[in-house]
Amino acid sequence: MEMTYEFSKEDLAEIEKIKAKYPDKKSPVMPVLWLAQEKFGHVEPEVQQLVARTLDLPAAHVYGVVSFYTQYYGKKMGKYVLDVCTTTSCQLCGGYEILHYIEDKLGIKAGETTKDGLFSIQSVECLGACGYAPMMQITNGVYCNHLTKEKVDTIIDGLRAGRMPEFESIPMPQHLDESTNKIG
Amino acid sequence: MAIDWRNYKPLLIPGIPNLHKIEVFEKNGGYEQLKKTLKSLTPEAVVNEVKAANIRGRGGAGFNAGLKWSFMPKPDGGPRYIAANGDESEPGTFKDRKIFEYNPHLFIEGAIIAGFAMHITAVYVYIRGEYKSWIDMMQKAIDDAYAKGYLGKNILGSGFDLDMYVHSGAGAYICGEESSLMESLEGKRGYPRVKPPFPAQKGLWGRPTTINNIETLANVPLVIKNGADWYKSIGAPTHPGPVLYGISGHVNRPGVYEYPTGMSIMELINDVCGGMRGGKKVKAVIPGGSSTPPLRGDQLEGVCMDADSLRTAGSMMGTAGMIVMDEDTDMVDALWRISHFYHHESCGQCTPCRDGTGFLEKTLIKIRDGEGEMRDLDLLLDLCTQMEGRTICALADAAAWPVRYTVTRFREDFEKRVKNTVFALA
Amino acid sequence: MPEIFIDNIRYEFEGKPLVLQFMLDNGLDHPFFCYHPSLSIPANCRQCYVEAGTPVWNRETNDYELNESGDRVIRFFPKLMTACSLEATDGMVIKTHRTSELVKRAHKDTLEFILVNHPLDCPICDQAGECPLQIQTYKYGPEGSRFEHKKVHKPKRIKLGPRVILDAERCINCTRCVRFTEEISKTHQLTIISRGDKNYPAVAPGTEFDDPYSLNTVDICPVGALTSADFRFKARVWEMNQTPGIDVTNGTGCNIDVWTRDNLVLRITPRYNAAVNDHWMPDFGREDIRRMNENRISKPELSLDGDRIKSSWNNAEITLWEKLKEFSPSEMLFAGSAFSSVEDNFVLKKHAKRIGAEKVYFTPFIKQGSGDGFLIDEDQYPNTQGCRLLGLKELSPADFKAKVSDSAVKLLVMLEDDLIGRGVLNTADLEGKFVVYMGSNHNATSAAATLVVPIANSVEQSCSFVNVKGRIQRTTAAKETIYTNRKLNLEMSVGRLDRYGTKFDNWVTDRNRIDCIPAWEYLERVAAQDDANFGYVSTRAIMAEIASTNARFTGVDYDRLDEEPGIPLISAEEVKTA
């Protein structure tokens, strides 16, 4: 089924706001791609062309940008993209064990999507949560830190039930009151 | 010089609940330095004070921020920019997100003061796309600052105008490199630019631009408040000030800690972070993000986290993102993973990096998988020589250094691996 | 004058030259890939490394600081510098691979890296023989490979557009093609996609690289990543002869190289001329090889009682000679052509005058609005200005049609111009007239003519054209006719196959030599029946006469045309009013 992608009036108003932040017409392409990806779930070629048309940019330029940045989904992904960090600190603290556990659990390999279209797994580069390893990010959104197999089970069960994990605020250890474990 | 870190009161991120809220921040003296600056200081005075304080860039290069500011040409009436670098992608680095989360207004205040000092018209805060949660926090803080009149037209009645925008990255380590960051802000593939021209002459959209790390700018209000002399008295004399240490790996209490520069590495591991997991020995420490040369556990005695001490020890301060590895760590595997990172993140513009990072990784895989030969170790070092200093930006260096220093400093691990192979020694 | 020392030799320079370009201009070989003089400088291939230093200035003595032996103290940049992006400054010292082991090593290192992911399929690569990567590897590269791993695999045989094929594995990511579409043709159709060693150029999905200048990317590609769909696998470049020529498909007059093998034109590439086309040309100019090779008129043809018969040259000459006797000048019409050369039009005009015809007419071929302000002009013919400067009578298409179709005209003598095909005339306009058509290719006009005289085209003889801006430029014979021989005509290029190939091997045949002569020669031979020929032996001689009799051509001669990038005959202001 051919799908046509369009921006709504509200999207276009938002795009105008984005454009106002930059002095030229090329610069808004990244935030507008983000907006498009949030709306459509991906930025496949048809969406890239929509972005190019909307911003009056060459389609090739938009394609070049999409393919450069790993967070843009140039092709459709699962509803939940599990980006498991495996770079150094996570590697040291069991990132690959978590990755393989998720792979086995979902029956797919990193880079693949489950048949039901619910999950994709990616082994990704450092997400900047090195102290909270192993960890993963879900669909470019929330970070899940200090992963254990049990925690992964809970998260995946939750996602299956449509529950996105909540943002975990991790205070600096030196701020924690040793008795209450709270800041102050 | 021992630092009395146990009695240190954090300055960048004080332990005040809800400090990220603008009212709380104001109640705790927030935006007072901006008011003072706008009311009683000239731009030159701010530049000079910051220069004298010697805030060394916290993004990795460690360049004097005030000196960098002084490279900006005289205003010509056209737009001028600050690009605040919150890309924070160097493995081992996770500190700026603490500022976004716990004290965003300190950064905003610092950026506005910097803007005033350099006659800036707009600040673009570039934050890595993965930090979606923190981007939202930062945007909220900026919106609040606008609402209170700290940003926008005629800030606090001073006649100074400044805009601040958040720009989200989308997954590219290279965009933490300052010229690549500017390309990305301009909506392009993040290819680093050839220098000269330098950003101060021709930066964002061809206009004078200064790029500062988030943490660097957060230090500015401290200097304005207490003066350069006070600032210089904190931590290591040649690399002063408070610093956010991001410590990860095999320690008991990893996390971000704020202490003065010049902290002893062993003290950070054993006391601040509660020692090694399982009471193991330290095998290696990467002091400032994965590109900085690793130090052996037996090299750490007396080594402190400041530029001079680390240079003497054979490494660099980088982002102060320290990765600690215990005695069980497989250095071949660890180095392969670092090489994989740089191979994956090379933008592909320059030949030595584009094809050299892959060559390094593939050679390391060969060794990791037990198929390596002695000559592969020499090959690795040779490839490093062929990459270092040969590219537009420093990614090739960042990829080569860990290889060079891991292979030389942990050579026995590598030799053990290749000697076990079925291939004879070369 | 400012000075620069390259490998201990002193050179003077003016302005702010880039070191690489300066070295190339001074005949110093230096390896590079991404640099192109007409494009921006990304310095991404990292091949053109040099050591560079500048003399230390002593402010106290207000002079250069000297060492104990009295030589200038040179402060070298800490890193190797890319010569392409390095501006020369007074007193700069450059060390290349000739004097620096470090530079020599760096050149080798970069080539080693470039080659690790390059397929090394030179034996089947179109670029072989004219490949900068191949030649620089030969000159500067490592002796062997230390890369024992799998190369990165990428798409091959990708049709980027109708005329350009991509082999992404061969690509070395110099970005010249992308920069070309961004900076020169401005279609922005290409981009580099992906990252790192997965990078390669591409078009946006669902679009095609139909840029009217797309084939220039094939020319500037320093490897065989981009190849021409048309020329692909047609020839090894060293088998071909390369002959300078002029693009006759448009009024711009792009300078070209005509590549032939066994007297077939296999490809056309642009030849640098800063005053006309820089390094570029439009794609359609290259498609002219079809006109040069195919559908040629070979041997004269005559319509006799409704039949089209082949005629001898003798008969073709006598037939026109008789017709010129049969009719009075007022019954004749001589049509010059903006498609034909200056020389052919001049000789036609001179013979017409000899016969008593008052004028030679022509009608330009302008497609309004078809110009792009770059290299594609509205003028579809190469010599409109030449016809004007020679004093041919210019008529609008309608007036021309009226003139020709006038029943008083009994004999029409035409230089090559497909007037029917381009809609100026129709067949009916020519009915009842004796029409002599001198042309190279069969077309609607030749089909309607009574006598068809096969003439040598712009790649079968030397001849000149005046482009839309009034610049006269000339071609050189690239292709033999059956009457010319490249070993006797010293101006023609002689390639490897011409030297060593024989009729008995697979390559050299007589099949592709056309039975044709230049139009001016035919006209001379017709006049020779009365001994009324002017005795021209070559276009070179004809041009000498034009230059001495037509003030607008003063000073033009073939040698000068070879030495200079063409000669401007009229000023820009005159072009506007012309």
Same domain membership, residue B266 and residue B145: no
Distance (Å, whole) CA A134 – CA C464:
76
Contact call for B187 and A26, based on CB within 8 A: yes
Same domain membership, residue B75 and residue B149: yes
Query: Is A75 part of a structural domain of the chain?
Result: no
Contact between C110 and B352 under an 8 Å Cβ cutoff? The reply is yes
Same domain membership, residue C340 and residue C402: yes
Among A51, A68, A76, pick the best mutation site for testing chain C contact (most C Cβ within 10 A): A68
The pLDDT value given to residue C572: 57
Query: Is B424 part of a structural domain of the chain?
Result: no
Query: Is B425 part of a structural domain of the chain?
Result: no
Residue B30 has pLDDT above 90, yes or no: yes
Contact call for B349 and C44, based on CB within 8 A: yes
Residue C206, chain A, CB below 8 Å: the answer is yes
The pLDDT value given to residue A183: 67
Q: Which residue of A has its CA nearest to B168?
A: A31
Contact between A77 and A137 under an 8 Å Cβ cutoff? The reply is no
The pLDDT value given to residue B426: 46
Distance (Å, whole) CA A144 – CA A167:
8
The pLDDT value given to residue B232: 96
Residue B56, chain A, CB below 8 Å: the answer is no
Taking CB atoms and an 8 Å cutoff, what residues of chain C touch A62?
A: 204
Residue C192, chain A, CB below 8 Å: the answer is yes
CATH, residue B375: 1.20.1440.230
Query: Is C351 part of a structural domain of the chain?
Result: yes
Contact between C276 and C289 under an 8 Å Cβ cutoff? The reply is no
Contact call for C189 and A64, based on CB within 8 A: no
Contact between A44 and A75 under an 8 Å Cβ cutoff? The reply is yes
Distance (Å, whole) CA C170 – CA C489:
40
Query: Is C41 part of a structural domain of the chain?
Result: yes
Residue A45, chain C, CB below 8 Å: the answer is yes
Confidence of residue C500 (pLDDT cuts 50, 70, 90): confident
Q: In this predicted model, what pLDDT tens digit does every residue of C237-265 receive, in sequence order? A: 999 999 999 999 999 999 999 999 999 99
The pLDDT value given to residue C213: 98
Same domain membership, residue B415 and residue B338: yes
Q: In this predicted model, what pLDDT tens digit does every residue of B62-95 receive, in sequence order? A: 999 999 999 999 999 999 999 999 999 999 999 9
Residue A26, chain B, CB below 8 Å: the answer is yes
Distance (Å, whole) CA A45 – CA A63:
7
Residue B94, chain A, CB below 8 Å: the answer is yes
**CA-based nearest distance B194→chain C, Å:** 7
Query: Is B312 part of a structural domain of the chain?
Result: yes
Q: In this predicted model, what pLDDT tens digit does every residue of C90-144 receive, in sequence order? A: 999 999 999 999 999 999 999 999 999 999 999 999 999 999 999 999 999 998 8
Domain end residue (candidates: B271, B292, B326): B326
Give the residue among C90, C81, C86 at the shortest CA–CA distance from C14.
C90
Contact call for A133 and B254, based on CB within 8 A: yes
Treating both helix axes as pointing N-terminal to C-terminal, what angle do B411-419 and B374-387 enclose, rounded to 10 degrees? 140
Distance (Å, whole) CA B149 – CA B167:
21
Among C113, C145, C170, C192, pick the best mutation site for testing chain B contact (most B Cβ within 10 A): C113
Nearest-by-Cβ selection for C193 from A52, A59, A67: A67
Q: Which residue of A has its CA nearest to B338?
A: A88
Same domain membership, residue B254 and residue B309: yes
Contact call for C191 and A61, based on CB within 8 A: yes
Burial class (CB in 10 A: 0-12, 13-18, 19+), B196: exposed
Kindly report the three-state secondary structure assignment for every residue of C207-271: CCCCCCCCHHHHHHCCCCCEEECCCCCCCCHHHCEEEEEECCCCCCCCEEEEEEECCEEEEEEEC
Report chain B's terminal Cα–Cα distance, integer Å. Answer: 48
Domain end residue (candidates: C177, C197, C228): C228
Same domain membership, residue C127 and residue C31: no
Phi, psi of B23 (to 5 degrees): -65, -45
Contact call for B390 and C47, based on CB within 8 A: no
Arithmetic mean of pLDDT over chain B: 96
Same domain membership, residue C156 and residue C203: yes
Share of chain B above pLDDT 70, in %: 98
**CA-based nearest distance C189→chain A, Å:** 6
How many CB atoms are closer than 10 A to CB C368?
6
The pLDDT value given to residue B421: 56
The pLDDT value given to residue B3: 80
Domain end residue (candidates: B284, B308, B326): B326
Query: Is C56 part of a structural domain of the chain?
Result: yes
Distance (Å, whole) CA C45 – CA C513:
45
Q: Which residue range forms the structural domain that includes residue C163?
A: 117-228
Contact between C35 and C84 under an 8 Å Cβ cutoff? The reply is yes
Query: Is C267 part of a structural domain of the chain?
Result: no
Same domain membership, residue A152 and residue A100: yes
Phi, psi of B156 (to 5 degrees): 50, 35
Query: Is C80 part of a structural domain of the chain?
Result: yes
Say which amino acid occupies A148: T
Same domain membership, residue C98 and residue C150: no
Same domain membership, residue A142 and residue A84: yes
The pLDDT value given to residue C509: 83
Taking CB atoms and an 8 Å cutoff, what residues of chain C touch B381?
A: none
Arithmetic mean of pLDDT over chain C: 95
Same domain membership, residue A149 and residue A99: yes
Same domain membership, residue A149 and residue A85: yes
Q: Which residue of A has its CA nearest to B247?
A: A131
CATH, residue B15: 3.40.50.11540
Nearest-by-Cβ selection for A67 from C181, C194, C206: C194
Same domain membership, residue A151 and residue A85: yes
Q: Which residue range forms the structural domain that includes residue B403?
A: 331-419
Torsion angle, CA of B308/B313/B314/B316, rounded to 10 degrees? Answer: -40
The per-residue pLDDT string of chain A (184 residues; one tens digit each, 9 = 90 and over) reads: 456 899 999 999 999 999 999 999 999 999 999 999 999 999 999 999 999 999 999 999 999 999 999 999 999 999 999 999 999 999 999 999 999 999 999 999 999 999 999 999 999 999 999 999 999 999 999 999 999 999 999 999 999 999 999 999 999 999 987 777 776 5
CATH, residue A26: 1.10.10
User: What's the average model confidence in pLDDT over B21-31?
Assistant: 97
Contact call for A48 and C191, based on CB within 8 A: no
Contact call for B352 and C113, based on CB within 8 A: yes
Same domain membership, residue B70 and residue B194: yes
CATH, residue C372: 3.40.50.740
Contact call for C207 and A62, based on CB within 8 A: no
Kind of pairing between the strands at C434-439 and C360-362? unpaired
Same domain membership, residue C570 and residue C450: yes
Q: What is the number of domains present in chain A?
A: 2
Q: Which residue of A has its CA nearest to B167?
A: A31
Q: Which residue range forms the structural domain that includes residue A16?
A: 9-68
Domain end residue (candidates: B278, B299, B326): B326
Among A29, A61, A75, pick the best mutation site for testing chain C contact (most C Cβ within 10 A): A61
CATH, residue A116: 3.40.30.10
The token duo for C541 is: 């001689």
The token duo for C141 is: 């590269």
CATH, residue B244: 3.10.20.600
Nearest-by-Cβ selection for B248 from A21, A133, A140: A133
Residue A56, chain B, CB below 8 Å: the answer is no
Residue A150, chain B, CB below 8 Å: the answer is no
Same domain membership, residue C12 and residue C49: yes
Contact call for C188 and A68, based on CB within 8 A: no
Show the CA angle centred on residue B37, arms to residues B32 and B39, nearest 5°: 95
Q: In this predicted model, what pLDDT tens digit does every residue of B359-379 receive, in sequence order? A: 999 999 999 999 999 999 999
How is C268-297 classified by DSSP, letter by letter? EEE--BTTTTBT---HHHHTTHHHHHSSB-
Residue C566 has pLDDT above 50, yes or no: yes
Residue B306 has pLDDT above 70, yes or no: yes
| Those residues with Cβ within 8 angstroms of residue A105's Cβ, 6 or more apart along the chain or in another chain | A152, A153, A156
Residue B422 has pLDDT above 60, yes or no: no
Taking CB atoms and an 8 Å cutoff, what residues of chain C touch A58?
A: 187-189, 191, 204
Q: In this predicted model, what pLDDT tens digit does every residue of B332-355 receive, in sequence order? A: 999 999 999 999 999 999 999 999
Confidence of residue C506 (pLDDT cuts 50, 70, 90): low
Tell me the CB-side half-sphere exposure of residue C297, using CA atoms within 13 A.
30
Contact call for B249 and A183, based on CB within 8 A: no
Query: Is C504 part of a structural domain of the chain?
Result: no
Q: In this predicted model, what pLDDT tens digit does every residue of B33-42 receive, in sequence order? A: 999 999 999 9
How is B235-279 classified by DSSP, letter by letter? EETTEESEEEEEEEESBSS-EEEEEETT-BHHHIIIIIS-SBGGG
User: What's the average model confidence in pLDDT over B228-243?
Assistant: 96
Which residues in chain B (159-188) have CB-CB distances under 8 A to chain C? 172
Chain B: list its partners (3+ Cβ pairs within 8 Å). A, C
CATH, residue C178: 3.30.70.20
Give the residue among C561, C578, C552 at the shortest CA–CA distance from C273.
C561
Share of chain C above pLDDT 70, in %: 98
The pLDDT value given to residue B265: 97
Share of chain C above pLDDT 90, in %: 92
Q: In this predicted model, what pLDDT tens digit does every residue of C352-381 receive, in sequence order? A: 999 999 899 999 999 999 999 999 999 999
Q: What is the number of domains present in chain B?
A: 3
The pLDDT value given to residue A1: 47
The pLDDT value given to residue A75: 95
Same domain membership, residue B254 and residue B225: no
Helix (H, G, I), strand (E, B) or coil at C351: helix
Distance (Å, whole) CA B31 – CA C539:
85
Same domain membership, residue B177 and residue B76: yes
Residue C270 has pLDDT above 70, yes or no: yes
Contact call for A67 and C195, based on CB within 8 A: yes
Contact call for B354 and C199, based on CB within 8 A: yes
The token duo for A144 is: 């899940």
Residue B206, chain C, CB below 8 Å: the answer is no
Chain C: list its partners (3+ Cβ pairs within 8 Å). A, B
Give the residue among C161, C245, C257 at the shortest CA–CA distance from C211.
C161
Contact call for A61 and C206, based on CB within 8 A: no
**CA-based nearest distance B328→chain C, Å:** 29
User: What's the average model confidence in pLDDT over B98-120?
Assistant: 98
The pLDDT value given to residue C510: 86
Say how many CB pairs under 8 Å bridge B and C.
97
Taking CB atoms and an 8 Å cutoff, what residues of chain C touch B343?
A: 196-197
Which residues in chain B (326-345) have CB-CB distances under 8 A to chain C? 343-345
Q: What is the number of domains present in chain C?
A: 3
Which residues in chain B (219-278) have CB-CB distances under 8 A to chain A? 246-250, 253-258, 272
Same domain membership, residue B228 and residue B165: yes
Same domain membership, residue C220 and residue C161: yes
**CA-based nearest distance B121→chain C, Å:** 29
Among A51, A67, A70, A71, pick the best mutation site for testing chain C contact (most C Cβ within 10 A): A67
Taking CB atoms and an 8 Å cutoff, what residues of chain B touch A72?
A: 170-171
The pLDDT value given to residue C275: 96
Same domain membership, residue B368 and residue B288: no
Distance (Å, whole) CA A98 – CA A87:
13
For CA atoms B103, B106, B111, B114, give the dihedral sign: negative
The pLDDT value given to residue A126: 97
Q: Which residue of A has its CA nearest to B335?
A: A88
Confidence of residue C575 (pLDDT cuts 50, 70, 90): low
